[in-house]
Amino acid sequence: MSLLKDFLLQLALIAVITLSYQLFSTERADRTRHAKQVVTFLFGLAVLLCMTFPAHLSPDVRIDIRVVPLLLGTLYGGTTTGIFLSALIMVYRLYLGVDPGLLTTALTLLISMPVILYCRTLFLKANKPKKVVIAVSLSLFYCQVGFILLSIVRDMTVSLLQTNLLYALVASASMLLFTSLNESIREMLARNSKLQEEAKEAEIAFLRSQINPHFLYNTLNSIAILCLKDPRRAEELTLEFSRYLRRSFDFKPIGSPTTLEHELELIQAYLTIEKARFGSRLNVEYEVDAAPGTRVPPLVLQPLVENAVRHGLMSNLRGGTVKITIREEEDASIRFVVEDNGRGMDRFQLESVLVPGESRKGIGLANIGQRIMLLYGNSLQIESEEGRGTRVSFRIPADRTF
């Protein structure tokens, strides 16, 4: 009973470490350069704890289930982790003293590790049931090698045989439990990640569907007005609008980026139509210091420019200037700024403009803000002063595939 309690204590320690590993994998593993080092540390700690609190068969015979964190660390952490854990076991065993057990440990690792590392390649390609079978088989193999070597250096007794059978049972059951747990959690995380991506794409598709009809409505309105005033100019703008549609509605996947050059062409097509309507009341300035091939989210700038023109400049008689600034910064990000010297917004409008449905004067801002947040985790920065104009800016990583 005492022997079983010692094994259960080691199992509890391994369970705590394994849970820590899973928490780390969930929160940080994909976002840190030191993921493998942390995994190595956690399973190394589990090895040390197992060897520090062993089961004592006799005053000179101690046994522990270090094989469990050794296998888990090697299978999930890789070759470097496996070699480190093996070295850690040898160093700690040497610290405990030079005796036949040290030789048994060294030979067991020497024989078992090449097999474990080879089987890891099969483990990584296997599905969950096969992974469990491989992990349990490796634990039984390790225990069998250790048992054979131990029987060579020590006299075999019934008690020793029973202990090794219990050891093999506990080790294999532990590998069955922890491998199944790890794989179940990984499957759950993969499903959640897929669902999050699908939800993000669906929301982005919805936001884009809101933006496109709005631009179409305003453009067709401009052309309709010109049909009465200047039919020839209306014809030219219709052709310009047709070129815009061919560039815009290419039906790429939602996550596919466009180029900065393409996005600027769309803006220029839009401004050509609007300038034909508003004439000298609308002035445009460009300050572009970024590669034309820089990848950007589609339809992210045009709604900001449209908002600046319609609600910033054309809401007063004198009109004004919209300035579009695109600059690559030293921190490998692209900074976009759309500013106007129009009517601006008061404090109440500024607070509500990024809330969907709260302000009709901020058409596009809430949608673009949500898209930038979904894609990059960044937010729109809006500065405005009533009577002096509005400035909208945001940053995205340069040439990032999203």
Q: Residue 7 is part of a domain; what is its CATH number?
A: 1.10.1760
Number of domains observed in the structure of the chain? 2
pLDDT band at 217 (very low <50, low <70, confident <90, very high): confident
Tell me the three state secondary structure of residue 383. Answer: strand
* pLDDT average, residue stretch 50-78: 81
Lowest-pLDDT range of 213-222, 344-353, 372-381:
213-222
Domain boundary, last residue among 139, 170, 194: 194
pLDDT tens digits for range 96-154: 887 777 888 899 999 999 999 999 999 999 999 999 999 999 999 999 998 888 888 77
The answer to whether the beta carbons of residues 359 and 349 sit under 8 Å apart is: yes
**Residue 227, pLDDT above cutoff 70:** yes
Q: Phi, psi at residue 363, to the nearest 5°?
A: -60, 125
CB 380 within 8 A of CB 369: yes
Rounded distance, CA 358 to CA 308, Å? 18
What is the arithmetic mean of pLDDT over 356-375? 68
In a domain, 208, yes or no: no
User: Which of 263, 258, 256, 247 is closest to 201 using CA atoms?
Assistant: 256
Which of the two residues, 8 and 4, has the higher pLDDT score? 8
In whole angstroms, what is the distance from residue 154 CA to residue 147 CA? Answer: 10
pLDDT exceeds 70 at position 240: yes
Q: Where does residue 321 rank: exposed (0-12), middle (13-18), buried (19+ CB within 10 A)?
A: middle
At 244, is the secondary structure helix, strand, or coil?
helix
Query: Do 153 and 244 reside in the same domain of the chain?
Result: no
Q: At what angle do helices 100-125 and 128-153 cross, to 10 degrees?
A: 160
Residue 369 lies in a domain: yes
Residue 300, domain member (yes or no): yes
pLDDT, average across residues 358-372:
66
With cut-offs at 50, 70 and 90, classify the pLDDT of residue 362. Answer: very low
Selection from 78-92, 176-190, 353-367 with the highest mean pLDDT? 78-92
Residue 339: the pLDDT is 94
Mean per-residue pLDDT for 148-170? 79
Distance CA 56, CA 224 (A): 92
What predicted TM-score, i.e. pTM, was given to this entire model? 0.54
Phi, psi of 64 (to 5 degrees): -145, 170
Query: Does 110 fall in a domain?
Result: yes
CA-to-CA distance for 331 and 305, rounded, in angstroms?
25
pLDDT of residue 263: 87
pLDDT: which is higher, 122 or 273 = 122
pLDDT at position 117: 94
Report whether pLDDT(361) > 60: no
Asked whether residue 153 falls in the same domain as residue 53, the answer is yes
Q: What pairing do the DSSP bridges indicate for beta strands 282-289 and 381-385?
A: unpaired
| Residue 189 shares a structural domain with residue 236 | no
Residue that has been written with the tokens 């219709």 in this structure: 238
Model confidence band, residue 314 (pLDDT cutoffs 50, 70, 90): confident
pLDDT band at 270 (very low <50, low <70, confident <90, very high): confident
pLDDT of 353 higher than 70: yes
Q: How many CB atoms lie within 10 A of CB 249?
A: 10
Position 379 scores a pLDDT of 84
Residue 204 falls inside a structural domain:
no
Answer yes or no: do 165 and 255 share one domain. no
Q: Examine the pLDDT at 288 and tell me if it is beyond 90.
A: yes
Q: Is the pLDDT of residue 340 over 90?
A: yes
CB 322 within 8 A of CB 308: yes
What's the pLDDT at 337?
A: 96
Q: How many residues does the chain have?
A: 402
Contact 398, 328 (CB under 8 A): yes
Mean pLDDT taken over the chain? 81
User: 152: which residues sit within 8 A by CB, 6+ positions away?
Assistant: none
Query: What is the span of the domain harbouring residue 337?
Result: 230-397
Instruction: Give the helix/strand (H/E) hosting 53.
Output: none
pLDDT at 232 over 80: yes
Higher-scoring residue by pLDDT: 139, 33 = 139
- Whether 139 is in a domain gets the answer yes
pLDDT given for residue 30 in this prediction: 47
The sign of the CA dihedral 13, 18, 24, 27 is: negative
Span 57-61, mean pLDDT?
62
Within this chain, do residues 189 and 235 fall inside the same structural domain, yes or no? no
Q: Show the CA angle centred on residue 31, arms to residues 27 and 33, nearest 5°.
A: 125
Give the distance, in angstroms, between the CA of residue 191 and the centroid of all CA atoms in the same chain.
Answer: 14
The pLDDT of 278-288, averaged and rounded, is: 90
Same domain, 240 and 188: no
Residue 260 burial (C-beta neighbours within 10 Å; 0-12, 13-18, 19+)? buried
Task: Provide the sign of the torsion angle of the four alpha carbons 313, 319, 323, 324, taken in this order.
Answer: positive
Q: Characterize the bridge pairing of strands 320-328 and 282-289.
A: parallel
pLDDT tens sequence across 368-401: 888 788 778 888 899 998 888 999 999 998 874 4
Please report which confidence band the pLDDT of residue 31 belongs to, taking 50, 70 and 90 as the band edges: very low
Task: Report the alpha-carbon distance of residue 284 to residue 323 in Å, rounded.
Answer: 6
Reading the block at residue 32, the tokens are 């840190």
Q: Are residues 18 and 165 in the same domain?
A: yes
Share of the chain above pLDDT 70, in %: 82
Between 287 and 19, the more confident residue is 287
